[in-house]
Amino acid sequence: MIPVITIDGPSGSGKGTISRLVAEQLGWNMLDSGAIYRVLGLAAERAGISAQQISGLTALASNLDLSFQAEKVLLANEDVSHLIRTEAAGNAASKVAVIPQVRTALLGWQRAYAKDPGLVADGRDMGTVVFPDAKIKVFLTASAEVRALRRYKQLKEKGLNANLVSLVAEIQERDERDQNRSVAPLKAPVAALEIESTSLSIDEVLKSVLDRVEKTYPELDISMPR
C-alpha cells in the first residue's frame, strides 16, 4: 500500500505550506485538493454554470482539464495559479464542494495521486473521506483572526487588494459552510494529530508532523528541521 499522510484543516490554517514542506522533506508527491475545487469553481464561472446546475457541474468535474506543473496550476494549459488564490475563488470552491455528485466525480481523480514513494494530501476531507486508511492524519487549525491576517499578508505580497475585516468575515462564513455541509463536512479525522497553530511557527508545526512521521515510519531517514 502506498503510504499517505493527510493534512486537513480550515482555510488559512497553514496546511498548504506544511503539506508542501513535508512532501519536500520526504521526497513524496503532493496533492492540493483545494486547488481542484477552486479550478472547478473558476471553470464553472467561465462556462456560465451556477452552483444550482448540478448536472452541468458534475459533467464539468468529470472532464476537468486540470494539471499541475511544478508550482503552476493549469486549466486547459492556462496558468491559473493566481486566479484561484483569491477569496472569491475560495468561496466559489466552497459552494461547489457541498454538492455530493461533484465530490464523487472528483474522488477517483484525487485517489489516483497516491503513487510511489508516497503522498502528502492537503484538504478538508483527505483523512475522513478520500484516504480514510492513511496511517498518518493531521488536522491543523488556528483562530479565524490569525488565519485572516495570514491570508491578508499573502495577498498583499502578491500585489492583490485585501481588507482584513472582510477576510475575517469571509473565513468565518466559509468555516460555517464547510463544517455544516451534509457531505464530507470539515472535521478532525479519528486519531488525527491535532495542531492548534495560532501561536506556533511554521517550523514548530513542521517538527510536530515529522515527529509523527518518524514514529510511524521509523525506516525513513528524516532530517528534522532545526
Name the residue ranges covered by the structural domains of the chain: 4-214
φ/ψ (deg, to 5) at 4:
-130, 135
DSSP state of 184: S
Residue 215's pLDDT is: 94
What pLDDT, on a 0 to 100 scale, did the predictor assign at position 130? 95
- Residue 181 CB neighbour total at 10 angstroms: 19
Position 225 scores a pLDDT of 46
pLDDT of residue 223: 61
Cβ neighbours, 10 Å, residue 167: 22
Pair 112, 4: CB distance under 8 Å: no
Distance of CA 90 to the CA centre of its chain: 11
**CATH number 3.40.50.300 given to 4-214:** yes
pLDDT of residue 3: 96
Give the number of other CB atoms < 10 A from CB of residue 133: 7
Q: What is the pLDDT of residues 166-197, one digit of tens each?
A: 999 989 988 998 888 877 888 999 999 999 99
Cα–Cα distance measured from residue 14 to residue 150, given in angstroms and rounded to the nearest whole number: 9
Each residue's pLDDT tens digit, 87-112? 788 888 888 888 999 999 999 889 99
Residue 48, pLDDT score: 93
Q: Which of 43, 50, 23 is closest to 84 using CA atoms? A: 43
| Interatomic CA distance for residues 220 and 211, integer angstroms | 12
| pLDDT for the residue numbered 97 | 85
Return d(Cα 72, Cα 52) in angstroms, integer: 29
* CA distance to 14, 65, 148, 215, 222, per residue, from 218 (Å): 26, 39, 37, 6, 9
Sequence-distant (≥ 6) Cβ neighbours of residue 60 within 8 angstroms: 40, 43, 44, 47, 49
C-alpha cell of residue 173: 462564513
Residue ranges of the chain with per-residue pLDDT less than 50: 224-226
**CA 29, CA 36: separation in Å to the nearest integer?**
16
